[in-house]
Amino acid sequence: MNKTTKSLADFIVKSPTAFHAVDVMKSRLEKEGFTELLENKEWELKKGGKYFVKRNDSSIISFKLPKAEYKGFYIIASHSDSPAFKIKENPEMEAAGAYVTLNVEKYGGMLCAPWFDRPLSVAGRVLVKTGNKNDISAESRLVNIDKDLVMIPSLAIHMNREANDGYKYNAQKDLIPIFGDEKSKDGFMKAVAEAAGTKVENIVSHDLFLYNRVAPTVWGAADEYVSAGRLDDLECAFGSFEGFLGAENKSNVIMHVVFDNEEVGSSTKQGAASTFLKDTLLRINEGFKRNTEQYLMSLAESFMVSADNAHAIHPNYTEKADPVNRPVMNKGVVIKYNANQKYTTDATSAAVCKLVCDKAKVPYQTFTNRSDVAGGSTLGNISGNQVAIPTVDIGMAQLAMHSPYETAGVADLDYLIKFSKTFYSSDIAVR
């Protein structure tokens, strides 16, 4: 594994959930001299300062202010969440008098089959009671039961001879993981409490998810592919973050934005449809003692890159791709187009993106769905409803999107970092 791929792999392993991804970025930002801003406290911004703000501990915006007055906001946005199974309330269930299983439900639109027959574990956050008996006070704590803990076993072929002829998974029957044998009763929340460094009775509530334990790996004839969980969209979050940290901002506020809940439509208080970005922009505007007109002027000078991974052409299903616009891994930034504007790219924003790629010496390619396929959506057009600025949708090409073990191109990570750094460090004049 080369150095950048290793850093991405470390980031992914340390980020089993959106909460962890945000926490890893927070630590890095603090190390790099960024100051945390709290949404419930006044902000004192200084020109040339570096700051970050979190919402729900699962979305994070970091930004660097220029030393002089700024023109606009240059933003790269990605998402922290990935499809997974969420642990339901009262999770333990008894099965066959011989097992304790966990009651889970789907978060996002995942491929189900690859969750079977592999070690899984549990991570997320718990709210731990603080203060005295009648105080309404609790604090959030990250949890990662960092061991092979649960498994969703397949049914043997002998008991379903049609298993290889296509199968419709029932989320309440087929996808229930085993936690332990009958002696493990009442042990699940104990394991969670232990990982959180507290007692079961102190845990008031939880947001916990299953995650895949298979370690990231590099493979292929020339080590050209990297496989890992959550490449969608931690590859974009990580690559744009590296570019952001390495960039110099001359006349713009540069911002790295990571939203939660993209996989479930973004309509949460911390999602791309929320006011999180807008509120942050308004507070920066206030901090510079600018009026409303100046705010609107700065938006008109701004640009956003919505970065979420793209589908590489699949060797076994070439008929699923557009006849012409078929991205491949290790061939650079994928610019995504959709006539119905599920992707925000238009001629203007594509021009910006292509010119940034040229300047960065990063190749680019294009993605469109086949005209008879609906395709997915992402965060750019959703965020645009709160903060309307020119936006391009990009991603890095990958296979097996929404599997718990996805595949991308090793070279593309470096391309993304170079692209991001160049974007943040440039002045854009495309009208």
For 18, 38, 136, 162, 174, the CA distances from 93, given in Å and listed in that order, are 27, 40, 30, 28, 14
Nearest approach, Cβ of residue 314 and Co ion (Å): 17
Residues 6+ apart with CB under 8 A from 309: 231, 232, 233, 235, 236, 395, 396, 397, 398, 401, 406, 408
Contact between residue 118 and residue 298 where contact means Cβ atoms under 8 Å apart: no
d(Cα 408, Cα 232) in Å, to the nearest integer? 10
Taking the least distance from each CB to Co ion, the nearer of 65 and 397 is 397
Q: Which three-class secondary structure state does DSSP give residue 203? A: strand
Nearest approach, Cβ of residue 322 and Co ion (Å): 19
Nearest approach, Cβ of residue 370 and Co ion (Å): 19
Nearest approach, Cβ of residue 102 and Co ion (Å): 26
Nearest approach, Cβ of residue 201 and Co ion (Å): 38
Taking the least distance from each CB to Co ion, the nearer of 102 and 396 is 396
Could you tell me which residues are beta bridge partners of residue 35? 51
Could you tell me which residues are beta bridge partners of residue 386? none
Q: Identity (one letter) of the amino acid at 52? A: F
Binding site for Co ion (CB under 5 A): 232-233, 308
Taking the least distance from each CB to Co ion, the nearer of 57 and 232 is 232
Taking the least distance from each CB to Co ion, the nearer of 233 and 301 is 233
Nearest approach, Cβ of residue 224 and Co ion (Å): 22
Packing angle, helices 347-360 and 410-425, rounded to 10: 110
Taking the least distance from each CB to Co ion, the nearer of 233 and 393 is 233
Taking the least distance from each CB to Co ion, the nearer of 287 and 409 is 409
Burial class (CB within 10 angstroms; exposed 0-12, middle 13-18, buried 19+) of 195: buried
Taking the least distance from each CB to Co ion, the nearer of 207 and 232 is 232
d(Cα 333, Cα 417) in Å, to the nearest integer? 10
Sign of dihedral through CA atoms 379, 307, 303, 343? negative
Taking the least distance from each CB to Co ion, the nearer of 232 and 260 is 232
Contact between residue 148 and residue 116 where contact means Cβ atoms under 8 Å apart: no
Q: Token pair of 257, please?
A: 């934005």
Nearest approach, Cβ of residue 193 and Co ion (Å): 32
Nearest approach, Cβ of residue 407 and Co ion (Å): 15
Nearest approach, Cβ of residue 45 and Co ion (Å): 31
Taking the least distance from each CB to Co ion, the nearer of 177 and 380 is 380
